[in-house]
Amino acid sequence: MRIIKAVAAIAALIFMAACSEQVPVAPAGAAVTPGSVADFRQNVGDRVYFDTDMSNIREDGRATLGKQAEWLKKYTNYAITIEGHCDERGTREYNLALGERRANAVRQYLVAQGIPAARIKTISYGKERPEVVGSDEAAWARNRVGVTTLQ
Amino acid sequence: MNKRFDMMLPRRRTIIGGVALAAAGAAAPARAQLTIDMTKPSFEPVPIAIVDFAGDKVGADIAGVIRNDLQSSGLFRTIPPSAFIQRDINPNAPPRFADWRGIGAAGVVVGQVTQAGGNIKVDFRLWDVVVGNQAAGLSFNSQPANWRRLAHIIADAIYKRVTGEEGYFDTRVAYVSETGPLNQRVKRIAIMDQDGANNRYLTDGRTIAITPRFSPTLQEIVYMAYGEDRSTPPRVYLQNVESNRRELLGNFPGMSFAPRFSPDGTKVAMSLAQDGRTNIYEMDVRGRGLRRLTNTSAIDTSPSYSNDGTQIVFNSDRGGTQQLYIMSASGGAEKRISFGDGRYATPVWSPRGDYIAFTKITGGSFGIGVMRIDGSGERLLANGFLVEGPTWAPNGRVLMYFRQQPNSGGRAGSVTLSAVDITGRFERQVPTQTDASDPAWSPLIPQ
């Protein structure tokens, strides 16, 4: 009995592994034009996340912003607006300022990577425009975000 | 008696003017159970009977508004008309006190409405049932459309006679009306009477508009709104409440927000954000001159003037977390006043000058509290998942704020207005037509 179960489990693992190798997954960027907004969003990543009540760029955010800077240097035809957002666990007016501080932290990072400051505007949405509707840590973590938008 | 009263009428000049009604009974001052000290640690609400006003069918509506006002304060218990014994009450003569004592009333309110050349004349008398005399009496003359205001003014007169404090029923509330899903929420500035009647919208909802604040005359509000174009930062606007004409208060490169009028209405304090720093500035409303009040690399926001206009309390995270600070209204002499656990935000100076109300965030919950202006005597009056943004009733004895329930299942939690008295004993929901946040309580409407 036990052996049969174990065999079945192993078979399942092999099957799954085989599947992932044999069925080609379409590359995420296959359908998008290089240099398009969709390209930026899908292949570079347009957002960085923040810790509660913080505005410093985290390690994961630095990697994303490094890629953003590279891309933005290649495609110089876009004007850039950084949106700063906060979770709902702060007061409205303070969060407007915190969102501005976050957007500005992203802007400064990109400027340090060589993007002209004049190309980048910022706007804070405070806690007025949460992307994820939820009242748990997972939702809040995704709503503490700086979004690089292209015009 | 009635003749004397009639002779007083022509002296009224304003559309809505109160004239004292001569006492129909003995003139001795009333006391006993028709008074209440709301600052005492415990009290029983005053049982009061409000008889439908005689003379016109709007009289019953007027009595209904008065009952609702007094009941909503938590200081009165209105006796249902079905319990009344005396049904043949004459609005100009003393009631049968024994009948009203019999149903446990401490006071009884009677009144009448008469047509007066296109206007209505409304008289009321408050009878002290315990002592057996007239405790208050006023007469008003106004356009018929103003009947709700007359009812609120009468409720204020009763409140004042019984509590010794100014009333707050003849007031308005500006707030943010919220509709739609959270990630594309429509937020409009709305204005209504404090009891939820006469609601109307001051912005069209095409862009987010938040944080409305009244001028001392109620003629104008200041608020923050986003632009149609994303490259324009949100800015502070000044808008006339009657004409809806609005103008930008300063064209700054960065975001301007958190506006609030000075008590004399000549200045607006607000925050300007630039390069990740937020400081407080003061703008002269007429000349539009701008003066910088704080100079920090932190976040300084939510300024609120003291009742005498000489100081400003504000919110800053310059010490690492959000705390409350007081400074001179011309800048300088900054001093931290909040020292408890947690973060403090949205300070609002009481119009009486005795307390500062605030939002407090401790661990996972929010509270609405008050402290004395030196930071001592902190008390929390309401708490929950999210309560925020207190605003004072003009008598400094009641706070309104908003309460949000947690979002769940991808749906926004409800957001409603609540009010609580400064003892924290009596909390109630304030009716609004939509979800509502960020209330601003007006001063008493000028009569």
The answer, for B408 touching chain A at a CB cutoff of 8 Å, is yes
Cα(B323)–Cα(B115) distance, rounded to whole angstroms? 57
DSSP state of B255: -
The whole-number pLDDT of residue B365 equals 95
Sign for the CA dihedral angle at B349, B327, B260, B287 comes to: positive
Cβ B396 vs Cβ B376: under 8 Å: no
Q: Cα–Cα–Cα angle for B255, B258, B298, nearest 5°?
A: 70
Which SS3 state, helix, strand or coil, does residue B384 take?
strand
> Which of B187, B188, B231 is the best substitution to test chain A (most A C-beta atoms within 10 A)?
B231
Contacts of A108 in chain B (CB under 8 A): 276
Strands B76-78 and B46-50: parallel
The whole-number pLDDT of residue B19 equals 74
Helix or strand holding residue A69 (H, E) = helix A59-74
The whole-number pLDDT of residue B39 equals 73
Q: Where are the domains of chain A?
A: 32-150
The whole-number pLDDT of residue B41 equals 67
pLDDT (tens digit per residue) in B184-197: 999 999 999 999 99
Does B2-163 match B172-441 in CATH topology? no
Q: Cα–Cα–Cα angle for B47, B48, B53, nearest 5°?
A: 165
Fold of A32-150: 60s Ribosomal Protein L30; Chain: A; (3.30.1330)
| Nearest neighbour of B271 by CB, restricted to A97, A130, A135 | A97
For residue B373 the two structure tokens come to 């202006």
Cβ distance B211 to A93 less than 8 Å, yes or no, reads: yes
The whole-number pLDDT of residue A17 equals 38
Q: How many beta-carbon contacts under 8 Å exist across A and B?
A: 113
B323: CB partners within 8 A, 6+ apart = B315, B316, B317, B336, B338, B339, B343, B344
For residue A123 the two structure tokens come to 């706007």
Q: Where are the beta strands (DSSP E) in A2-131?
A: 47-49, 80-85, 120-126
Q: How far is residue A65 CA from its own chain's centroid?
A: 9
The answer, for B278 touching chain A at a CB cutoff of 8 Å, is yes
Distance from CA of B344 to the nearest CA of A (A): 9
SS (H, E, C) A25-57: CCCCCCCCCCCCHHHHHHHHCCEEECCCCCCCC
Model pTM score: 0.90
Helix or strand holding residue B69 (H, E) = helix B58-72
Domain covering B2-163: architecture: 3-Layer(aba) Sandwich (3.40)
Residues A137-144 have a mean pLDDT of 97
Query: Long-range pairs for A131-135 at CB < 8 Å and ≥24 separation?
Result: A131/A85, A131/B183, A132/B183, A133/B181, A133/B182, A133/B183, A133/B407, A133/B410, A133/B411, A133/B412, A134/B407, A134/B408, A134/B410, A135/A88, A135/B385, A135/B406, A135/B407, A135/B408, A135/B413
Count of CB atoms within 10 A of residue B274's CB? 16
The answer, for B322 touching chain A at a CB cutoff of 8 Å, is yes
Contacts of A101 in chain B (CB under 8 A): 273, 276-278, 299
Strand partners, B351: none
What is the CATH number assigned to the segment(s) B172-441? 2.120.10.30
Strands B186-193 and B200-201: antiparallel
Cβ B260 vs Cβ B213: under 8 Å: yes
The answer, for B340 touching chain A at a CB cutoff of 8 Å, is no
The whole-number pLDDT of residue A9 equals 42
Cβ B401 vs Cβ B378: under 8 Å: no
Give per-residue burial for B41-55: e unless 16+ CB within 10 Å, then b: eeeebbbbbbbbbbb
Q: Where are the domains of chain B?
A: 2-163, 172-441
Cβ distance B407 to A105 less than 8 Å, yes or no, reads: no
Phi, psi of A50 (to 5 degrees): -125, 155
Which ranges of chain B have pLDDT less than 70?
A: 1-18, 22-32, 41
Residue A1 has pLDDT above 50, yes or no: no
Cα(A136)–Cα(A139) distance, rounded to whole angstroms? 5
Q: Of A68, A62, A93, which Cα lies nearest the Cα of A82?
A: A68
Chain B window 362-391: which residues touch A at a Cβ cutoff of 8 Å? Answer: 385-386, 388-389
The whole-number pLDDT of residue B35 equals 83
